[in-house]
Amino acid sequence: MGPLAIHALLCAFKSRYQSSFRPQASEDNSSSAVPLDSLSSERIASLRKEFIHDLLLAHLGIISHRFYWQQGFGESYLCGSFVWRVDPLDIVAFQVTHGSLVSYLRTHLRAATAFRRLDWLSSRPLLPDATTEYRGNVWSALMHAVSEWLRVYSITLEDAYGRYVASNRTETHELLALTRLLKPFMTNMLTVAHACGVLSDARGSDVSQNVRVQSLSGLRLLAWLGRQAASTTNRSALPFLFHRATAPFLRFLHLWVQEGVHEDPFNEFAISLNSRFLFRKGAFCF
């Protein structure tokens, strides 16, 4: 199997078998039945390590028993979100209140939700049940760029955490230290998610305000991405995505200006031909 086939197979697996997965807590392993005396320092350290591990998996769009993907039956992936399965042992392990841990996780889960939604959106044409019509070359170039950026994002995040663990043995499993480490990643992810219309700019996870982004194509989509890239003060991936999305438009301009060929099969660039104003020789070129 080639890399494209493997990627398509992975997308199909995630779409079919992981969309509605929600782990059920076993009564035998219920945290309420665990005596506090049994929580030794080694056990607490193990709980922290497992929690951080599962949280990092969520940042890469992977479901675990702590962080599952909540999505209504028949709903789009753009309506789903990552949710923390509340476990009192996690609260005890980090020695914080329930409200504090929820506050810490809020941005993490939004970034994780953004990753999974972007991954689904960029992989949608490869899914076997994809029924959406082709949105044009600009949208296709943008989705290809998003898919490429997500792979680089995953590798960079894993590398950053690996170097952090190697140099900070004492704070490896501290949630606050992890939040500081991942803050640039989460900010970048949320910026890209908002620009692509998969996550609102507000605190909630509703995407109703950004549905219009999903309907843009051609020059309108480029104008939206250009404004978002220009208005971003922090370092983000938007300039890279905008540059990749402009490739079809630049190719259209090159063919039109340099060779006199008008090639716009999806009417993305708002330029049409009128044969009445063309000489016979010029009309033959078109």
Statement: residue 286 has pLDDT above 70: no
- For residue 136, the tally of other CB atoms under 10 A from its CB is 20
Q: Closest by alpha carbon to 37, among 92, 94, 82? A: 92
Statement: residue 31 has pLDDT above 60: no
Cβ partners under 8 Å of residue 268, min gap 6: 136, 137, 138, 217, 218, 219, 248, 249, 252
Side chain identity, residue 127: L
pLDDT at 1: 52
Q: What is the mean pLDDT of residues 13-35?
A: 49
Cβ partners under 8 Å of residue 134, min gap 6: 140, 266
Which has more pLDDT, 102 or 271? 102
pLDDT tens for 76-130 read 778 889 999 988 888 888 888 888 899 989 999 999 999 999 999 888 765 555 5
Overall pTM > 0.75: yes
Q: Where are the beta strands (DSSP E) in the chain?
A: 67-70, 81-84
Q: Closest by alpha carbon to 217, among 282, 138, 270? A: 138
* Residue 118, helix vs strand vs coil: helix
Q: What is the DSSP string of 227-251?
A: HHHHH--S--SHHHHHHHHTHHHHH
Per residue, the 3-state secondary structure of 159-212, as one string, reads HHHHHHHHHCCCCCCCHHHHHHHHHHHHHHHHHHHHHCCCCCCCCCCCCHHHHH
